[in-house]
A and B are shown apart, each in its own frame.
Chain A
Amino acid sequence: MPGAGRARPRLIYKEALVHLLVQSIGFGVAAGAVLALGAVGFTLQFGISNVLNISYGSLMSVGAFLGLFMLGLGLNIWLVMVIGGLAVGACSVVLNRGLITPLVRKGMAPFGLVIVTVSAGIVLEYVIVAVAGPATQTYGNRSGATLNFLGWTLTTAQVVIFAITVVLMLGLHLLLTRTQLGRAMRATSANRTLARSCGIATSRISDIAWFMSGTFCGMAGIALAITIESFDFTLGSIFLIPMIAAAVLGGVGQPYGAMIGGMVVGIVSSVSSAYWDPAYQSVVAFGIIIVMLLVRPRGLFGSATATRKLLA
């Protein structure tokens, strides 16, 4: 709705515009939940293994298509989300063990690894095409009853996904701060060599990070497939841009940053698409990436460690 209300009486439309704002923030929060889920997985794995995994988007598509398959078997949608997540987590570990770790050991430069993950992502995408075909798919209408809350109109599915995200984020927070494993993960993320010399099995920590990342990825893929009407094999690679934006905004490698980044990107794109042409929604995400890159590459919440990691 470009230029809405410009030439019209302002007072009447002001109320409508405020309502639009409130409503779009609601949508933004719902979209942000999925984004945060995906972005946290992306950033967690990067923070710990120090490899940018571009095939993350394709893994997300794999999750969505696995979900489609399981729905066909008649499983409950939320059960599908859990199983699909764990399955993608397993794929992610295989990717790390079979491809990334051997190449890192061979001393491949980070740039080479990006090309490898891009290639792996394309292979995965076309495996989906070979198995399920290139056609557009849908989970059918899974949104459930409509709920009204704080002036927001949301579907049950959106609320459940939001709740799942909150629970997972809380769980991740407790894991990182309260357990021995979490401390080991944070240590590995801050300084891998030092962590190893302190007796932390960094390669196992890496595997765990890839598994968690893949699980988040798969769940986000299925959540995304639930909330949008239809999708095809490019689902994840398109969604990768706002996810990268969320991760970059919060500081790549910072799980808490990605949570907040996901929310911010979700709300900002939703609000902007309410007032501007929705086709340009991802332009906002793109703008965030470029501005952050040029102005503050370490992200809003990035530490000095993050800076050291990102500067050449």
Chain B
Amino acid sequence: MANLAYIVVIAAGAYTYGILTLGPDTGNGGFQQYVLGYRLPFFVAVIAAAVAGAVVGVLIGVTGLKRIRQDYQAMVMLVISIMAATVIGAAPSFLGGEPGLSLIPNPFANLSPATGDWAYVAMVAFACVVGYLVMRRFTSGPMGRALRAMRDDEHAAAAMGFSIVKMRLLTQAVGGAFGGVSGALLVAFIGGWSPGAWAYVETLALLTAVIVGGMGNDFGVSLGTFVIAVLLLQGVQFLPQIRSHTGLTEAIGWMTLGILTIAFLWLRPQGVFRERRPRYGQPAVGNAGGGEVAEGHG
């Protein structure tokens, strides 16, 4: 089941990265307030963001452990995601409140802007490759099989000796770590983070990517994310601006996103790329010690 509060995990990573690299809040003229305020090196902060993401992911996952209808759980997730933004926004001295954090240092600040941007692209590409390889460990092979079994029927999986609690929290933790890292990389680039940046609608963008790409297909999800992020959310900026309507282009982007999600769920719920299952051949005769023989006797 998709986590409709996933944006909270990303936010956790972003904030963690922010407060661990910004330095004390008396710096920069002391115009913003926040907790901690260390100047840790980039990689330490990213790892901390991954941990923060995993912890928040597990905390959110705990609410889903009760045997309750899926749609009911989904509603609670949405509520969590709206609430988290409200609470953080209302507490100015904790994580910067509604204005959020800004002037988060860029890890490539000592490079020239152009080189810095390319260094950032390279770093994100590297993170994607590592992330993809780690993800494969979970989505392919026996582990992927077990997780998909649990997705299909939790009760039957429990009847086969799988601890649902353990597996669910494991996936939440891993998913959370991924979200945390992506949040950290995001703020390292944009340099600021506030509750407005992670409204619950952002979760829909992630969800659309997954649904369009094909839920059970890693490649499909990656491609879907790329298409949604690049074409829709950035692409609308290139539409001719209509001056009298502020926010119209953004509105068109979100409307397209919503309609796309509904259209895919309606017409092609498996996404562009469907889930593929591995084929298993019969072991060689004799090796299995009887497979073929039994057939013969029938």
A113: interface (CB < 8 Å) = yes
Most buried by A among B63, B80, B257, B258: B258
Q: What is the interface of chain B mostly: helix, strand, loop, or mixed?
A: helix
* Binary interface encoding of chain A residues 209-243 relative to chain B, with 1 for a CB under 8 A from any of its CBs, else 0: 00000000000000000000000000001101100
* Binary interface encoding of chain B residues 120-151 relative to chain A, with 1 for a CB under 8 A from any of its CBs, else 0: 00000000000000000000000000000000
Taking CB atoms and an 8 Å cut-off, the chain B residues in 61-106 that contact chain A are 63, 66-72, 74-76, 78-80, 82-83, 86-87, 89-91
| A102 and B83 alpha carbons, distance in the complex (Å) | 32
Most buried by B among A114, A282, A311: A114
B266: interface (CB < 8 Å) = yes
- A286 adjacent to B79 (CB under 8 Å): yes
Q: How many residues of A contact B (CB 8 A)?
A: 50
State which size class the interface on B falls in.
35 or more
Q: Which residues of A contact B261 (CB under 8 A)?
A: 115-116, 119
- B82 adjacent to A293 (CB under 8 Å): no
| A113 and B265 alpha carbons, distance in the complex (Å) | 9
Q: Which residues of A contact B245 (CB under 8 A)?
A: 130, 133
- B247 adjacent to A133 (CB under 8 Å): yes
- A108 adjacent to B265 (CB under 8 Å): yes
| A251 and B172 alpha carbons, distance in the complex (Å) | 28
Given contacts A118-B204, A130-B245, A133-B247, contact A311 B67 (CB under 8 A): yes
- B63 adjacent to A290 (CB under 8 Å): yes
- A123 adjacent to B71 (CB under 8 Å): no
* B19–chain A nearest beta-carbon distance, Å: 21
B111: interface (CB < 8 Å) = no
| A289 and B68 alpha carbons, distance in the complex (Å) | 14
* Binary interface encoding of chain A residues 44-69 relative to chain B, with 1 for a CB under 8 A from any of its CBs, else 0: 00000001101000000000000000
Q: Which residues of B contact A129 (CB under 8 A)?
A: 247-248, 250-251
* Binary interface encoding of chain A residues 127-165 relative to chain B, with 1 for a CB under 8 A from any of its CBs, else 0: 101100111000000000000000000000000000000
Residue of B nearest to A123 (CB): B258
* Binary interface encoding of chain B residues 1-43 relative to chain A, with 1 for a CB under 8 A from any of its CBs, else 0: 1101000000000000000000000000000000000000000
Given contacts A297-B66, A310-B72, contact A103 B79 (CB under 8 A): no
Q: Which residues of A contact B201 (CB under 8 A)?
A: 122
State which of B86, B211, B248 has its C-beta within 8 Å of the C-beta of A282: B86
B246: interface (CB < 8 Å) = yes
A280: interface (CB < 8 Å) = yes
B187: interface (CB < 8 Å) = no
A5: interface (CB < 8 Å) = no
Residue of B nearest to A295 (CB): B66
State which of A130, A135, A297 has its C-beta within 8 Å of the C-beta of B252: A130
Given contacts A111-B1, A297-B66, contact A122 B254 (CB under 8 A): yes
* Binary interface encoding of chain B residues 188-231 relative to chain A, with 1 for a CB under 8 A from any of its CBs, else 0: 00000000000011001001000100000000000000000000
- B71 adjacent to A283 (CB under 8 Å): no
State which of B78, B80, B252 has its C-beta within 8 Å of the C-beta of A54: B78
| A122 and B78 alpha carbons, distance in the complex (Å) | 13
Residue of B nearest to A111 (CB): B70
* B63–chain A nearest beta-carbon distance, Å: 7
A109: interface (CB < 8 Å) = yes
A99: interface (CB < 8 Å) = yes
- A297 adjacent to B71 (CB under 8 Å): no
Q: Can you name 18 extra interface pairs (CB under 8 A) apart from A110-B70, A130-B245?
A: A99-B262, A110-B69, A114-B74, A119-B262, A120-B258, A120-B262, A122-B258, A123-B259, A126-B251, A126-B254, A237-B82, A279-B89, A282-B86, A286-B83, A289-B76, A293-B68, A310-B68, A312-B70
Q: Which residues of A contact B (CB under 8 A)?
A: 51-52, 54, 99, 102-103, 106, 108-116, 118-120, 122-123, 125-127, 129-130, 133-135, 237-238, 240-241, 244, 252, 277, 279-280, 282-283, 286, 289-290, 293-294, 297, 309-312
**20 A-B pairs (CB sep. < 8 Å):** A54-B78, A103-B265, A110-B71, A115-B2, A118-B4, A118-B78, A119-B259, A122-B204, A123-B255, A127-B255, A130-B252, A130-B255, A240-B82, A244-B79, A279-B89, A282-B83, A293-B66, A293-B76, A309-B69, A311-B67
Q: Which residues of B contact A (CB under 8 A)?
A: 1-2, 4, 63, 66-72, 74-76, 78-80, 82-83, 86-87, 89-91, 154, 200-201, 204, 207, 211, 245-248, 250-252, 254-255, 257-259, 261-262, 265-266, 269
